Amino acid sequence: MMIPYILNLFLYFPEDKREYIPAAITCTLFLIAALLTMRLIIKISKYQEEKAKQFEEQLRRENIIQDDK
């Protein structure tokens, strides 16, 4: 029974809607930073995947050469 009262203490809707502008700018900046970070992680991951494939292929070739001897 106290929870709705407690939650109402934290709700604040300003009369002057210009107070939303700094929050919107901050949210947009963090969204852009998150998207750029995600793209960077995907790019690095693809690079590491390609490097791992090359390493696996090198190990396979060395294994084949050793098995022939």
- Phi-psi region for residue 14, left (φ > 0), alpha (ψ -120 to 50) or beta? beta
Structure tokens at 37: 């970070």
pLDDT of residue 64: 76
For the whole prediction, is pTM greater than 0.85? Answer: no
Percentage, residues of the chain above pLDDT 70:
93
pLDDT of residue 12: 76
Strand, coil or helix: what is 67? helix
